[in-house]
Structure 1
Amino acid sequence: MDCIDVCYKTVGSHPIYLNVYPPKDLIPGQRLPALIYFHGGGLTVGTRTSWFPTWLTTRLAASGIVFISAAYRLFPQATLHDIGDDVKDIFTFLSKKDLSFRAESGQLFGVDAERIGVAGTSAGGTCAYLAAIHAVPRPKAVLGIYAMLGNAFSAHVLTPKTAIFSRGRELLDPAKFAHLLYPGYLSDTTITTESELAYLPADSPTPGWPANPRMPLSRLYQQLGTMLDYCTGLHSPSLSASLRPLLAEYPAESDALALHDAVLASGLVPGDQHVIIPQFNISRDFPPTYLWHGALDTAVPCAESRVMGALLERAGVPVTLRVVEGVDHSFDYVPDAEERYGHYFDEMVQFLKTNLG
Structure 2
Amino acid sequence: MSLESPLEVIYKTINDSQITTDIYLPSPNTTDGKHYYPVVIDIHGGAFMLGHSRMVSKDQIRDCLDRGWIVVVPNHRLCPQVNILEGPIQDCRDLLRWIYDGHLDAVLAGKEDTAKFSCDLDRVIAFGTSSGGTIALSLGYDVERPVAAIYDLYGPAKFSDPFWTAELPHVAAKLPPGLTTEFINQVYQEHPVPTRGGVSLEGQAESRGGPDFSDPRQAFALTQIAQGKVIHACYPPDNRGPIDPVENISPRFPPTFIVHGAKDTMVTIEVSRALFAALKENGVECDMIEVPDEDHTFAAKMEVGSRTWNLQRQGFDFLQRVISKTVSKY
**TM-score interval, smaller chain:** 0.7 to 0.9
Name which of 112, 115, 124 aligns with 1:116: 124
Which residue of structure 2 lines up, in the alignment, with residue 193 of structure 1?
195
For residues 93 and 113 of structure 2, the distance between their equivalents in structure 1, rounded to whole angstroms, comes to 30
Query: Are the counterparts in 2 of residues 292 and 321 from structure 1 also a CA contact under 8 Å?
Result: yes
Check the 8 A contact 1:313/1:319 in 2, yes or no. Answer: yes
Give the equivalent residue in structure 2 for 1:38: 43
Secondary structure of the residue that 1:125 maps to in structure 2? helix
Give the superposition deviation at 1:79.
0.5
Hey, what's the Cα distance between the residues in 2 that align with 1:61 and 1:317?
Answer: 27
Match of 1:243 in 2: none
Whether contact under 8 Å (2:291, 2:308) holds in the other structure is: no
Q: In the alignment, is the contact (CA less than 8 A) between 1:164 and 1:171 conserved in 2?
A: no
Q: Which shows bigger deviation, 188-197 or 124-133?
A: 188-197
TM-aligned CA deviation for residue 345 of structure 1 = 4.3
Tell me, yes or no, if structure 1 residue 70 matches structure 2 residue 74.
yes
Cα distance, 1:313 vs. partner?
1.3
User: Kindly tell me: are residues 173 and 302 of structure 1, through their superposed partners in 2, closer, same or farther at Cα, counting changes over 3 Å?
Assistant: farther
1:328 aligned to 2:330?
no
| Aligned-residue offset at 1:154 | 2.1
- How big is each residue's C-alpha offset from its partner over 1:209-265, in whole Å with a ceiling of 9 and x where there is no partner? 525443354342233333232332x3xxxx3xxxxxxxxxxxxxxxxxxxxxxxxxx
Cα deviation, 1:95-133, whole Å, max 9, x if unaligned, reads 124633157844332222221111110111111111111
* Counterpart position of 1:155: 162
Gaps of 5+ in 2: 200-204, 325-330
Match of 2:218 in 1: 215
Partner residue, 1:283 = 250
- Equivalences, count: 309
Contact 1:118/1:128 (<8 A) preserved: yes
Paired residue secondary structure (1:228): helix
- Counterpart of 2:328 in structure 1 is none
The alpha-carbon deviation at position 186 of structure 1 amounts to 4.7
Contact in 2 for aligned 1:295/1:328 (Cα 8 Å): yes
Q: RMSD value over aligned CA atoms?
A: 2.6
TM-score norm. by structure 2 comes to: 0.84
Contact 1:140 1:287 in 2 (8 A): yes
Q: Aligned match of 2:230 in 227, 231, 234?
A: 227
3-state SS of paired residue (2:159): coil
Q: Is the deviation greater in 286-295 or in 208-217?
A: 208-217
Q: 1:315 to 1:13 in 2, by over 3 A?
A: same
Deviation of 1:185 after TM superposition, in Å, equals: 5.0
User: Where in structure 2 are the equivalents of 1:127-276 lying within 5 Å?
Assistant: 127-148=135-156, 150-159=157-166, 161=167, 164-166=169-171, 169-171=173-175, 175-181=179-185, 185-197=187-199, 198=205, 208-211=210-213, 212-215=215-218, 217-232=220-235, 234=236, 239=237, 269-270=238-239, 273-276=240-243
Q: Taking structure 1 as reference, are residues 187 and 320 closer, same or farther at Cα in structure 2, changes over 3 Å only?
A: same
Which amino acid letter does the alignment assign opposite residue 120 of structure 2?
Answer: D
2:217 and 2:187 mapped to 1: Cα distance?
Answer: 12
Contact 2:40/2:69 (<8 A) preserved: yes
> What is the identity, as a one-letter code, of the residue corresponding to 1:222?
I
Instruction: Please name the residue that 2:26 is paired with.
Output: 23
1:281-303 deviations in whole A, cap 9, x for unaligned? 11111111111111111111111
1:176–1:4 CA distance, 2 compared to 1 (3 A): same
Task: Give the whole-Å Cα distance in 1 for the aligned partners of 2:19 and 2:229.
Answer: 27
In structure 1, the gaps of 5 or more residues are 202-206, 240-268
1:100-115 matches, cutoff 5 A: 100=106, 101=108, 105-115=113-123
Does the 8 A contact of 1:91 with 1:135 survive in 2?
Answer: no
Shift of 1:279: 1.8
Taking structure 1 as reference, are residues 219 and 337 closer, same or farther at Cα in structure 2, changes over 3 Å only? farther
Question: 1:88 touches 1:136 (CA, 8 Å); kept in 2?
Answer: no
Secondary structure at 1:218's aligned position in 2?
A: helix
CA distance in 1, matches of 2:267, 2:193: 26
Equivalent position of 1:53 in the other structure? 57
